[in-house]
Amino acid sequence: MHPDFPRPLPGPDDAPFWDWCRRHELRLQRCDDCGTFRFHPRPRCHECRSAAATWTRVAGTGTVASFTVIHPPVLPAFADRVPYNAVVIQLDEGPFMVSNLVGVADADLATGLPVEVTFVDLDDTLTLPQFRVVTA
């Protein structure tokens, strides 16, 4: 990995998300009181303000809500892969997350594409949840 890859350095609120990714499971905080899923992680439910939540496995499926193709200038760690895509995925459970689509040509990017998560191990300690298009 590039020495300046922007590795997550999560705090206590965030670390479980990355720990579960390392085990190839997509888990989000789910409010113990009202059942709302939330992402990005945070210490309170934005709907009912409860502090009680459980890291709950989600299906890992969703749709492309938005996408872009990124050209220079980029972070040094990404310089050798331009142009590359970035997407916003709406998970079937509701929350949105930023990621990348793998295995798709830039010309085929579109909103509404059905996707599923795929875990990409960058090294022994960091796994990124990326997505691929689901073909019927």
Q: Which residues bind other proteins (CB under 8 A)?
A: 3-11, 14, 39-40, 65-71, 73-76, 78, 81, 83-84, 86-88, 90, 94-100, 111-112, 126, 128, 130
**What is the smallest separation between the CB atom of 9 and other proteins, expressed in angstroms?**
4
- Alpha-carbon 44 to chain mean position: 20
**Local structure of 40: helix, strand or coil:** coil
- Alpha-carbon 87 to chain mean position: 9
Which of 76, 63, 74 has its CA nearest to residue 112? Answer: 63
**What is the smallest separation between the CB atom of 18 and other proteins, expressed in angstroms?**
8
Q: How many residues are listed for the chain in this entry?
A: 136
Find the distance separating the first CA and the last CA of the chain, reported in whole Å: 34
**What is the smallest separation between the CB atom of 26 and other proteins, expressed in angstroms?**
14
Nearer to other proteins, 33 or 83 (CB): 83
Nearer to other proteins, 55 or 84 (CB): 84
